[in-house]
Structure 1
Amino acid sequence: MSSHATGRARVIPLRPVHAAPAPAAAAKEPLWRDVVGDVLRRERTAQRRTLKDVAEAARISMPYLSEIERGRKEASSEVLAAAARSLGLGLADVLSLAQDEIARRAPSRTAPARAPMGEVRLAA
């Protein structure tokens, strides 16, 4: 007879029971949709344009553009390109601005050195 015959299920925790919580000071990586939304909003407000104006020019709904700007929705590349064009930018411009913003916001950490693309490092 096994030890499980008492009628009680045995629980096996997936995480250690006494795992230390993550430090509060540890910053999270920014989400792509938040950063892209911030870039679009910043560009739109710098041009002193309304959500309605930009959404109409991009041929997307105003509520959807608002949700993208607030980081609530992750837009497709087609929608991002249309929003960028309506702001007089290219998709590459928006992505470059977003990349710069992510680099500024990302928590600093010491990452192992990476080999350039196509180069393989052999262990000594």
Structure 2
Amino acid sequence: MTDGDPRPLTLGELIRTQREMAAMPMRRLAEMVGISNPYLSQIERNLREPSERVLEAIAENLKLSADVLAESTRTSDPEGQPEVIAAIRRDPDLTRAQRAALEEMYETFKDVTVSNRRRGTHG
């Protein structure tokens, strides 16, 4: 990513950048997280998406908030809204009321997950 590139870092880029800033070899972080070095490499290259447990362990070992890392995994459309919401809004087979209900359910599920993550519970 260059200074002129407005594109946000991907999850893998963010993990790699934070690991490098901590001067931590990939092999060491993988060992601390309890995953293989090749798996961490795939995560950093955005070839694999880590499980919630792995993401939390990476965040903990890099002294980051799991919420910060998790937020970076959410895909957005060009207007900045989550891709899920954008897809719901584009679907021609849904009524306005159905779209509103789906958006509300999505936001509720997301809020519960974030809240559980902050409390350290999983659901």
What is the TM-score normalised by the length of structure 2?
0.51
CA shift, 1:107, in A, is 3.4
The answer to whether structure 1 residue 77 and structure 2 residue 14 are counterparts is no
CA shift, 1:84, in A, is 1.0
| Number of the residue aligned with 1:43 | 18
Q: Which letter does structure 2 place at the counterpart of 1:47?
A: A
Which structure 1 residue ranges, 5 or more long, are not aligned? 1-29, 118-124
Change (3 A) 1:50 1:90: same
CA shift, 1:86, in A, is 1.3
Q: After TM superposition, what 4+ stretches of structure 1 lie above 2 angstroms from structure 2?
A: 106-109
The answer to whether structure 1 residue 107 and structure 2 residue 78 are counterparts is yes
**Pairing 1:8-47 to 2, within 5 Å after superposition:** 35-47=10-22
Name the count of aligned residue pairs: 80
User: Which deviations, in whole Å up to 9, do the C-alpha atoms of 1:41-76 show, x marking residues without a partner?
Assistant: 111111111101111111111110000000011111
Which structure 2 residue ranges, 5 or more long, are not aligned? 1-6, 81-85, 90-99, 105-123
CA shift, 1:102, in A, is 6.2
Measured in 2, the distance between the counterparts of 1:65 and 1:58 equals 9
The answer to whether structure 1 residue 95 and structure 2 residue 70 are counterparts is yes
The answer to whether structure 1 residue 67 and structure 2 residue 42 are counterparts is yes
SS at match of 2:53: helix
Measured in 2, the distance between the counterparts of 1:49 and 1:61 equals 15
Percent identity for Structure 1 against Structure 2? 32
CA shift, 1:89, in A, is 1.6
CA shift, 1:78, in A, is 0.8
The structure with the largest alpha-carbon Rg is 1
Judge conservation of contact 1:35–1:102 (CA < 8 Å) in 2.
no
